Amino acid sequence: EVQLLESGGGLVQPGGSLRLSCVASGFTFSSYTMSWVRQAPGKGLERVSGITDNSGDTYYADSVKGRFTISRDNFKNTLSLQMSSLRAEDTAVYYCVKGGTRETFDHWGQGTLVTVSS
């Protein structure tokens, strides 16, 4: 059974930093593109970042470019998202997702809530 378990969310002040992690199991992690998708309260879905299987290519939405950094450790089956210079508009549930461009978004974690507020 595929499982994606996120952690690291919480309350942070504007301008602060936070690191999200996602531990994957139940599939060959090193073979798939992984993504972070967020959902602001009461809003729709936005893919904010993605990374290919061997970390050779990364994607960032314009809204987070230069502030967020995605990485993965294929030995530890872990996906990470380092977030800095956080803004109120980054407040959202962040989902770890197996999938990417031309790859189905077929498994989602339960999400971790990031709240940016003073």
Binding site for another protein (CB under 8 A): 35, 44-47, 50, 59, 61, 95, 99-111
Supply the minimum distance, in Å, between the C-beta of residue 98 and another protein: 10
Supply the minimum distance, in Å, between the C-beta of residue 102 and another protein: 6
Of 46 and 53, which CB lies nearer to another protein in the complex structure? 46
Structure tokens at 91: 């407040």
Burial call 39-70: b when 16+ CB within 10 Å, e when fewer: eeeeeeeebbbbbbbeeeeebbeeebeeebbb
Supply the minimum distance, in Å, between the C-beta of residue 108 and another protein: 4
Cβ neighbour number for residue 102 with a 10 Å cutoff: 6
For the chain, how long is the longest CA-to-CA vector? 40
The SS3 assignment for 88 reads helix
Nearest Cα neighbor of 94 from 15, 4, 33 is: 4
Of 13 and 25, which CB lies nearer to another protein in the complex structure? 25
Of 17 and 101, which CB lies nearer to another protein in the complex structure? 101
Supply the minimum distance, in Å, between the C-beta of residue 86 and another protein: 21
Of 90 and 109, which CB lies nearer to another protein in the complex structure? 109
